[in-house]
Structure 1
């Protein structure tokens, strides 16, 4: 296979790595700058929330923007705006002094940067099928490597961010963060040389008439397609049940025990398990049915979370978290495959945007419920309140006939 045939795929993978690393560094740098400014944990939480709240609405809009403006162009615009949002921090510090970089400024910039992340992500995912075909890769293989690289970026990015802050300082680190987005822009701009099908400006006849009509078209297509509709509900439930464990319950458990290092180990076990699971699916997909992988993942999540609910010794928690991450890792590549093969090319961005927005909606919903439950009834009860429905979800999935379509040959609807 010549480099010219692999070129588009390698460029998309490199762009995903750079954009993911930039976001990973930002996850550390923005809160650090707040704490350095006034030491307020509340203000740090405000900035962190500002970086996540825009994601739900912007993901819905992102799919329509991709199908209207074009995948390559949207990816470059999104990364350009992300670069601008982080470069603005040192620019403001240079122009008005470090004191001007306050919580209001940082929250605004964090929100501005995250607003465009889903558009870049949707654009890159939407270009994968054509790039994989040209490279001679199966779509399962391409999605597996893509998700593994994306996970790697979010594992390595925060570590690099901490190192940069320690050596260069928080303000200067933002220049490096901006550079990662610029490298992503350069990689995607090079796709023009390869004339990748579907990456350029869409045909006028297939573009959505407006943002609202584009969202409706995406929602309608997902609802009419049986397997997409089923996966949307499964993803909504699984994400809502899984995310609070990582984002609320484990932090509370180890904070109450004053064991921050152990929290880091647990989160690392989840992340590394997810990385190995996503990458391992590239091999596993050749020998195992997608439905089997999905069912094993859901059932294992339910069992592992149920055992974790009894808060066993740390070594067992770490082992279970690695297992949870490992079985959860292949889910995203499978979802990507289904979206990319069921949706016709001109609707792909809208479908990816709709499916992605459901995951963003489920996460906050689970977090809102988990916090009050943990404060009122305790961690064990809350863990069980999340684990048992996950177990029921896995058992219910055994009877979902629509999941059998995951392994059937597909011709995208027009």
Structure 2
């Protein structure tokens, strides 16, 4: 009986692990494929931006798709399309030669993957409340474990990615990514859960665009959701270039793919521990204090990394960043899941996710050319100092005090 009650939650967690690991591999493989051609951080930032820019629109559409088409169906379709987008890399290389896998092609494929991935992530996240109830878990515990699994995926993914690139090469590494998306599809195909099937269309606007606007209005008029979205937008724009361009540039120049994987793994190991610890931490520390600590620590760590210390220091700082930032995603999930009505949950998650990605392309556009001209230390500092300022400003935002208020509606 216990296994039957936990079965749906375990399937959601397994799907998050395998799909996340696939995305973790591409986090290493796409920049590496570009940088090994000519070492240009600018071109790497173009591919990274191509993998980010569609997220703004795609996540909005993903939220509506989840509410209108159903969570289980959207998760499977999304993973299937993501698998095709990464499998296209080795297929094109085998058919036309590796020369065809250039910056333009990689940008298109990265954009396609970015367009498809959010739907699967949104669908799995919106299934958590019902899966937690079925398993007899609190929502805080379910979100804590879910985000820990997601971080575990980004430990396994980049680590495997770095090793596979060193042994098989960047192109053939994409076969593994497609296989992992396939495992996620199999897991969700066997899922039976309340609210995961065909939704009740009577609770939804007839037009999808009207439904998306309804989600946007809900977030905008909800003070704590609006504030969290803005803070996350700025933090993502400042942090993303470090992971997507600056670290790959630094380790590519040194011809150290495995070390790049280690750094990304250190970020995820810290995030894994931080996310797992959230279920305990929430009983001893306020959500607001946890969030402020994360943003300020991230700014301080990025400032030290700007001086490019030895690898052990970079690994330690990356682990600290992951540790303090690990509880943030569970906090965001909890707020979205407890503030949004059931029929709006997908669109609220989609709106929050799309706003988080909105500043990413701008940060990548600035970081790539700046790294090529001013160097990596100056670019790290240009991102770290505003992050510190964001943490200071967040201290004085009254809406963040609502993170520790009970939700106005039942979970």
TM-score category by the smaller chain? 0.7 to 0.9
Match of 1:19 in 2: 19
Task: Report if the CA contact (8 A) 1:67-1:208 is conserved.
Answer: no
Query: How many residue pairs end up in the alignment?
Result: 408
Determine if the alignment matches structure 1 residue 144 to structure 2 residue 144.
yes
SS in 2 for 1:297: helix
Match of 1:280 in 2: 277
SS in 2 for 1:191: coil
Task: Report if the CA contact (8 A) 2:158-2:265 is conserved.
Answer: no
Task: Report if the CA contact (8 A) 2:14-2:187 is conserved.
Answer: yes
Distance in 1 (alpha carbons) for counterparts of 2:234 and 2:108: 31
Q: Which runs of 5+ in 2 are unaligned?
A: none
SS in 1 for 2:363: helix
Alignment of structure 1 residues 179-198 onto 2, 5 Å: 179-192=179-192, 196-198=193-195
Distance in 2 (alpha carbons) for counterparts of 1:107 and 1:390: 28
Determine if the alignment matches structure 1 residue 411 to structure 2 residue 408.
yes
Match of 1:321 in 2: 318
1:217-240 Cα deviation digits (max 9, x unpaired) = 111111111110111111112222
Using the TM superposition, give the Cα deviation of residue 347 of structure 1 relative to its aligned residue in structure 2, in angstroms.
0.6
Question: Is the radius of gyration larger for structure 1 or structure 2?
Answer: 1
Alignment of structure 1 residues 185-334 onto 2, 5 Å: 185-192=185-192, 196-250=193-247, 265-309=262-306, 315-334=312-331
Task: Report if the CA contact (8 A) 1:344-1:413 is conserved.
Answer: no
Match of 1:63 in 2: 63
In structure 2, do the counterparts of structure 1 residues 44 and 316 end up closer, same or farther at CA, with 3 Å as the change threshold? Answer: closer
Using the TM superposition, give the Cα deviation of residue 174 of structure 1 relative to its aligned residue in structure 2, in angstroms.
4.2
Alignment of structure 1 residues 79-94 onto 2, 5 Å: 79-89=79-89
Between stretches 293-302 and 244-253, larger displacement belongs to: 244-253
Task: Report if the CA contact (8 A) 2:44-2:368 is conserved.
Answer: no
Normalising by structure 2, report the TM-score.
Answer: 0.86
Between stretches 137-146 and 315-324, larger displacement belongs to: 315-324
Distance in 1 (alpha carbons) for counterparts of 2:358 and 2:236: 9
SS in 2 for 1:288: coil
Normalising by structure 1, report the TM-score.
Answer: 0.85
Match of 2:51 in 1: 51
RMSD: 3.3
SS in 2 for 1:116: helix
Q: Which runs of 5+ in 1 are unaligned?
A: none
Distance in 1 (alpha carbons) for counterparts of 2:47 and 2:240: 19
Distance in 2 (alpha carbons) for counterparts of 1:173 and 1:375: 28
Using the TM superposition, give the Cα deviation of residue 158 of structure 1 relative to its aligned residue in structure 2, in angstroms.
3.1
SS in 2 for 1:67: helix
Distance in 2 (alpha carbons) for counterparts of 1:319 and 1:133: 37
Using the TM superposition, give the Cα deviation of residue 25 of structure 1 relative to its aligned residue in structure 2, in angstroms.
3.0
Task: Report if the CA contact (8 A) 2:288-2:401 is conserved.
Answer: yes
Distance in 2 (alpha carbons) for counterparts of 1:27 and 1:372: 20
